[in-house]
Homo-oligomer: A and B are copies of this chain.
Amino acid sequence: MPNEVTVLSPATVANIVCGFDILGFALNGPYDKMVIRTTATKGVTIINKDNYGLPTEPENNVLGAALLALLTEVPEDIGFEVESTKIIMPGSGIGSSAASAAGSVVGANHLLNMRFTKEDLVRFAMFGEAVASGVQHADNLTPAIYGGITLIRSLSPLDIVPIPAPPLFITIIHPLIEIKTSYARKILKKEIPLKDAVTQWGNIAGLIAGLMMGDYSLISRSLVDVIVEPVRSALIPGFEQIRKLSIEAGALGGGIAGSGPSVFMFSKDETTAKAVESAMTKEYQKTGIGFHTYVTTINTEGVKVSLNH
């Protein structure tokens, strides 16, 4: 058995416009980095190698809580020490806490000779997400662990379906503002018109079919959210303008990453994705709000692990 691994755990985007609470995908960067080694006694030790000031008591830390959940199903006297370097900024909306939770359990599973299934790992990592947001959700965790685009058909019982997709380039803008996930959830209407729900599920069906057929036009036509985005987009300065300019620059479509503030756009090729980045940058400079942008692709393998010794 190896006793140390280095883990790169990817950023992820939950929801994919019309797929609120069911769809997500993993990105080829940014990545959080972790070095995980086994220890001879039960428990988790966390060493933060960044400046985010995250808690080091494992039960209050996302990756710690995920590893503690995993350890409850490990009979041996074994524990983990984790050096964590977060690159994905907490609160960016591209799965920062999910990267910590997913990366730690995938890495630990390599140190345990892969005894757990991916579904087990999602189950453990959800305890980490609960530390971050108070809710055991899995829309970011699942693509981080499985790679690619994933559907959570049902959360209880957990039913995960990897969705094949054609090549897609992704442009992301992360405005440096804070949106609390709990607030972004609270402002949603608890009841929605059946008519709008029908529109939404037509688009979800179209998006799944478009992805599986590699039909970019159908993907583009289906990237419409009539339920969540009309409420949440008001929290993101310049959202409508960014989308308009991105589409004009050739993007297939896109929307809020998770509960924001990041916004993502899909493009068919890298040239377009870079043109979208330029359009976003030019527009956002006007707002006076700081921001980061990324141009990346879909990460089809999920968390990357290399064995050290």
A156 to chain B, nearest CB (A): 10
Confirm or deny: A249 has a beta carbon within 8 angstroms of a beta carbon on chain B.
no
A182 to chain B, nearest CB (A): 16
Contact with B along A222-261 (1 / 0, CB 8 A): 1000010000000000000000000000000000000000
A83 to chain B, nearest CB (A): 37
Q: How many residues of A contact B (CB 8 A)?
A: 38
Confirm or deny: A286 has a beta carbon within 8 angstroms of a beta carbon on chain B.
no
Chain B minimum-CB-distance residue to A196: B197
Assembly of this chain: how many copies?
A: 2
Instruction: Check B221–A153 contact: CB distance below 8 A.
Output: yes
Instruction: Check B193–A191 contact: CB distance below 8 A.
Output: yes
- Interface-side segment among A53-61, A102-110, A198-206: A198-206
A223 to chain B, nearest CB (A): 11
CA separation between A206 and B188, bound complex, in Å? 24
Confirm or deny: A151 has a beta carbon within 8 angstroms of a beta carbon on chain B.
yes
Confirm or deny: A152 has a beta carbon within 8 angstroms of a beta carbon on chain B.
yes
CA separation between A212 and B163, bound complex, in Å? 10
Known: A192-B197, A197-B192. A205 touches B159 (CB 8 A): no
20 chain-A/chain-B pairs, Cβ below 8 angstroms: A21-B198, A151-B209, A153-B206, A153-B222, A154-B206, A161-B206, A161-B218, A163-B209, A188-B194, A189-B194, A190-B195, A191-B193, A191-B194, A194-B227, A197-B200, A197-B227, A201-B201, A201-B204, A205-B205, A208-B212
